[in-house]
Structure 1
Amino acid sequence: MSVALQPVDTIEVDTCEGRVRGFWRDTPGAVARSAAFLGIPFAQAPVGSLRFSAPAPMEPWVGVRDALAYGATAQRGDPGVTLIPEPSVPGESTLNVNVFTPDPSHRTDSMPVLVWIHGGGFISGSPASPWYDGRAFNRDSVVVVSLGYRLGFEGFGAIQGATSNRGVRDWIAGLEWVQRNIAAFGGDPSRVTIAGQSAGGGAVLTLLGMEHVQHLFHSVYCASGAIADVTSERGAEAAGKLAKAVGVEATVEGFSNVEEESLLAAQGEAFKLGASDLTAGLPFGPLIDGELIVRPTPESLRMGVGSDKPLVLGATDDEFSMIVQGKEKFLRWLPLALLLRPFKLPAEVRRAYLRANPEVAACGHGAVLGRFITDNMFRTVVVRVARARGEAPTWVYRVAFKSKAHGSAVHCIDVPFLFDCLDGPLVERLTGENPPQELADAIHGAAVAFMRDGDPGWTPWSSEPDTDAVFGGAEATMEVERGGYGGALPLV
């Protein structure tokens, strides 16, 4: 898959670090064109002495720097078949941004800005996905920025003697770049919405719960957010396990002597997603280090951190149900009472969960296990965060649209609707044939309204608890309901 967009007509913009050259392209459905500036570095390449350090400020350059092709990604090699096409781009300068704007000269009435942080479980993913191209948001007068950050152990591993939370610091450095430079691209630095999906959704919730970064954004949009909140004990355990796998001490000196390729290979072998990750949590992600992140995100939100920031958050109905596809014949022989026992739930919680989900149980044991995984990892996050926020402005949604390819509302199904890119590459592989444009109009339109006006268009949970919008349910577009997350409540 090509990751370079072919320039037809170039355009130049001055940033604080130097002049960059992007290019114009046509935007379907829009009267005017939009411009793309790709692979602009916001920090120095994290290699050599900077490998396990905080992002270092980018040195200014002389002349014009081409921003005509996507920059290097922290994801390496062929990721294989993924739900979202997220290509890897080789190179060292992985800390870069892509900017999509309707008009860089749009200065008299600056436009709202969407900063997108990609997902991938904090170990994979790429800002160079064609789905993250901001042309549909540009059509609606929103500037879009996607940013790269260090992944896996390189970005989040707890290493003795190294800077902690390097990936989180990359997000912050990217947002600081936006504050310095987005006005030059027609964006309003006082109207920045940080948004992400899956691990990216967890990223924006983490940032929402950090006191000292509140000035970097105005509002938050979280899709299927997975909060890591890795404890110091869990981080040390993961570092020790990986150090043993590569035969070094769990120190910055030890890991610095291991080539990136070898470390990635060992990471892939040592850490595989399983049932334990649903209870112990992910091994890599934002770390509660007592310095940059001082407490779990929900606790910070309960304390009122970020309470002035409007928040939209939600999940799909069957995020990870695909994990159990093809296993129904085996699972049906297990009594329902035993099905959830490996997840170490108290018996009364297991019983309450099954009572709360009779319609799921009626679809079979595989449906129950799939919904439990979805609830445990994603839908309970929505409820916990909405409750923790109290009266802070919070809107909740769920996506019920069933993929014709997978038979359920699977993980990532909402992304092409959010970005209104249903004609994008490999979309139908996820959604099935002929995904409904009216659903894209609803999901994308609500997001634009939120970024532009601070209200996505339905009753906020913070005013009427347990109220949510459902996209793609009985109605093809959107309807408002009560209790859409009731099935997850026994796990909260």
Structure 2
Amino acid sequence: MTDFIEAQTTAGRVRGFWRGESAAFLGIPFAEPPIGELRFAAPVPHKPWEGIRDALEHGATPQRGNGEITLIPEPSVEGESTLNVNVFTPAPGGTGGLPVLVYIHGGGYFSGSPASPWYDGASFNRDGVVTVSVSYRLGFDGFGWIEDAPHNRGVRDWLLALEWVRDNIANFGGDPSRVTIVGQSAGGGAVFTLLGMPAAQPLFHSAYSISGALGALTLEAAEQLGRSLAAEAGVAPTRAGLSTLSEERLMKVQNKVTGMEGGLAGGNPMDMLNGMINDGLKLGPVIDGELIPVSTIEAIRSGVGGDKPLVLGTTDDEFSMIFAEAKDKLKWIPANFLLGKLGLRGRARSAYRAANRDVKGTAAVLGRYVTDKMFLVAAMNVADARGTAPTWLYRFAWRSPVSGFAGHCLDVPFFFDCLSLDRVAVIAGDNPPQSLADEIHGDAVSFVESGDPGWPRFTEGHAVRVFDLQSKTESNGTAAVRALVA
């Protein structure tokens, strides 16, 4: 028999359920459904409801169709009310004194779902941390330029979700003054964006970026894509024009104009990676001069977010799997030639190869370069830009016996300490090291609780924590990628 538990929100009461030592409240709407007149509008706080609203199942997700885009199981849930939070807490109705972790999922800003079983906060609840996962509008609905619509609608969704946490989390046992924002991949990029946004500063007190993608589109680039999409669809680049497109039609046109028809497998991987490395993602946060006044790195360099402790890091082989299947073919092509195709030439290429002599074979060299260029350099630039602000940098170096890589997404079940869950074995093997999960998860809990993960700060000789079977802290730990810094 299910034991139910209730909690109060600003919009009304919700009914969750106990599962062992903590309670779950799923699919609580923080905004009105983004449909009709609200489809391309800024999010609007959800209106009050009468009685008690069940929060027993995951709410509808902005992601539609097959949710198997990434290596993380992220199911899609049909429905219109797609802007929701899931709250996992060991102390619903408590005194509001527990630290809070707010998780933003990844997926390249065009896919992903907060309904993944991996994002369940049970292990953090066990350790005294209230956990919240949030949804946000994806793809063109969330980030596309529209002539008469507000920019950065997905970013505004993050902000409203954080405002919901501020106003409600005490009723779930959390302390609104002790909120840590966490995200992986595009979610890690969301953490960077929020860290550099003046408007977001009152809504969190520390940040943790896992494989964060740094960058924001210029308004000009966003407008060009928006007009191209509207032209391809045969409608005006306005809310009225684009609202005539069904979700399915808009998704099809979006995939065509962004070059993501069929994903990486559907195009030329070298061309697509070259575009991602040098131009960034086609859809994402936009430097609109208002909500996001300047680029994230410029904002951080000017001191925005400098009072907030930050942990950030990458895996050692984020995208190496892209080249692994072509290993036998690539061995006949000189690595330097293909690095040149990806934009690395001259002295920078020579210095980078010299600093990475341990990486052997063309496929491995390309995989490491893409990882370093897209992720580790971004993390290092953020750490450098923060100066003396409290910053900790890490690398996840444990190689899966399945792929042979420390690949993208592999560290997520270690962070959430959920190695026994379904689908973890697919990327981590049958016996992933629990001791490593204990360490990574434990350090994360320490950071959320105290603002310190327990290893030396980056400012202490460019210290980098390397997570592996035998973890260590390396001084001058970014030397291997310094040649890639412009």
How would you bin the TM-score normalised by the shorter chain? over 0.9
Structure 1 position 14 matched with structure 2 position 1? no
CA distance in 1, matches of 2:13, 2:93: 15
TM alignment of 1:471-486, pairs within 5 A: 471-472=467-468, 476-486=469-479
**Distance across 2 between alignment mates of 1:437 and 1:337:** 39
Match of 1:57 in 2: 45
User: Does structure 2 conserve the Cα–Cα contact (< 8 Å) formed by 1:228 and 1:284?
Assistant: no
Aligned equivalents of 1:71, 1:465: Cα separation in 2:
46
* Aligned equivalent of 2:25, options 20, 37, 40: 37
Shift of 1:454: 1.1
1:230 is matched with which residue? 217
Whole-Å separation in 2 of the counterparts to 1:81 and 1:40: 25
Instruction: Describe the shift of the 1:167–1:81 C-alpha distance in structure 2 as closer, same or farther (beyond 3 A).
Output: closer
Counterpart residue number, 1:97: 85
8 A contact 1:398–1:484 mirrored in 2: no
Local SS of the residue matching 1:334: coil
- Displacement of 1:354 after TM fit? 1.4
SS in 2 for 1:267: helix
Alpha-carbon separation, structure 1, partners of 2:197 and 2:462:
26
CA distance in 1, matches of 2:165, 2:9: 10
Distance verdict in 2 for CA 1:477–1:169, change over 3 Å: farther
1:468 lines up with 2:461 in the alignment: no
Matched residue, 2:239: 252
- Is 1:119 the equivalent of 2:106? yes
- Residue equivalent to 1:29: none
Tell me if the contact between 1:438 and 1:477 (Cα under 8 Å) persists in the aligned partners: no
Tell me the equivalent position of 1:310. 309
Matches within 5 A, 1:430-441: 430-441=427-438
Q: Secondary structure at the match of 1:358?
A: coil
How far did 1:388 drift?
Answer: 0.2
Q: Deviations over 1:291-322 (max 9, x none)?
A: 11011111111100011100000000000001
Mapped contact 1:397–1:469 kept (Cα < 8 A): yes
Inter-partner Cα distance in structure 2 for 1:238 and 1:342:
25
- The Cα of 1:196 is off from its aligned counterpart by 0.3
Distance in 1 separating the partners of 2:470 and 2:210: 17
Letter of the structure 1 residue corresponding to residue 185 of structure 2: S
How is 1:204-283 mapped onto 2 (pairs within 5 angstroms)? Answer: 204-271=191-258, 272=260, 274=272, 275-283=274-282
Partner SS state of residue 286, structure 2: coil
Task: Read off the aligned partner of 1:353 and give its amino acid letter.
Answer: Y
| Deviation of 1:101 (Å) | 0.1
Greater shift in the superposed pair: 321-330 or 13-22: 321-330
Residues in 2 aligned to 1:80 and 1:208: alpha-carbon distance in whole angstroms: 29
Secondary structure of the equivalent of 2:277? helix
Structure 1 Cα separation of the partners of residues 321 and 477 of structure 2: 21
- Consecutive aligned runs of 4 or more in structure 1 exceeding 4 Å deviation: none
> 2:73 aligns to what SS in structure 1?
coil
Number of the residue aligned with 2:155:
168
Task: State the shift of 1:255 in Å.
Answer: 1.1
Distance, in Å, in 2 between the alignment partners of 1:37 and 1:357 is 47
How many pairs does the alignment contain?
473
Counterpart Cα distance in 2 of 1:111 and 1:283: 39
Q: Which residue in 2 is equivalent to 1:427?
A: 424
Do the aligned residues in 1 keep the contact of 2:32 with 2:44 (CA within 8 Å)? yes
CA distance in 2 between partners of 1:486 and 1:203 (Å): 27
Q: Aligned equivalents of 2:114 and 2:410: distance in 1? A: 18
Contact 1:110 1:183 in 2 (8 A): yes
Task: Give the unaligned 5+ runs of structure 2.
Answer: 265-271
* Pick aligned residue for 2:483 from 479, 484, 490: 490
Answering whether residue 439 of structure 2 is matched by residue 445 of structure 1, we say no
3-state SS in 1 of match to 2:291? coil
Aligned partner of 1:16: which letter?
T
Alignment partner of 1:90: what SS?
A: coil
| 2:283 corresponds to | 284
TM-score normalised by length of structure 2: 0.95
CA distance in 1, matches of 2:59, 2:375: 31
Could you tell me how far 1:260 is from its partner in structure 2?
1.4
Q: Distance in 2 between matches of 1:270 and 1:71?
A: 30
Q: 2 CA distance for matches of 1:149 and 1:313?
A: 22
In 2: Cα distance, 1:58 partner to 1:101 partner: 22
Looking at structure 2, the residues matched to 295 and 164 of structure 1 have their Cα atoms a distance apart, in angstroms, of: 14
Q: CA deviation at 1:81?
A: 5.9
Once the two structures are superposed, residues 342-398 of structure 1 have per-residue CA deviations (whole angstroms, 9 ceiling, x without a partner) of 2233422222221221111xx200001001111111111110000000000001111
Q: Distance in 2 between matches of 1:241 and 1:489?
A: 37
Give SS of 2:287's match: coil
Which residue of 2 is the match for residue 403 of structure 1? 400
Q: Which residue of 2 aligns with 1:150?
A: 137
**Contact 1:319–1:411 (CA<8 Å) still a contact in 2?**
yes
Measured in 1, the distance between the counterparts of 2:324 and 2:22 equals 41
Q: Is the 8 A contact 2:395 2:467 kept in 1?
A: yes
Contact 2:104 2:135 in 1 (8 A): yes
Q: CA deviation at 1:116?
A: 0.2
Residue pair 2:12, 2:50 contacting (<8 A) in 1 also? yes
Superposition RMSD on alpha carbons, in Å? 1.2
* Equivalence for 1:357: 356
Q: Deviations over 1:103-132 (max 9, x none)?
A: 11321x610000000000000000000000
Contact 1:52 1:154 in 2 (8 A): yes
CA distance in 2, matches of 1:392, 1:241: 41
Cα separation, 1, equivalents of 2:336 and 2:5 = 63
- Give the match's secondary structure for 1:449: helix
Counterpart pick for 1:85 among 54, 69, 73 = 73
Q: In structure 2, the residue corresponding to 1:324 is in which secondary structure?
A: helix
Distance in structure 2 (CA, Å) of the matches to 1:236 and 1:260: 20
**1:335 to partner: Cα distance:** 2.2
Tell me which amino acid in the other structure corresponds to 1:317. D
Report sequence identity in percent: 57
Gaps of 5+ in 1: 1-6, 27-32
User: How far does residue 86 in structure 1 lie from its aligned partner after superposition?
Assistant: 0.2
Greater Cα shift, 440-449 or 347-356: 347-356
Taking the aligned partners of 2:395 and 2:372, their CA distance within structure 1 comes to 12
Which digits, 9 at most, give the CA deviation of each residue in 1:232-254, with x for residues without a partner? 12212221232232122322222
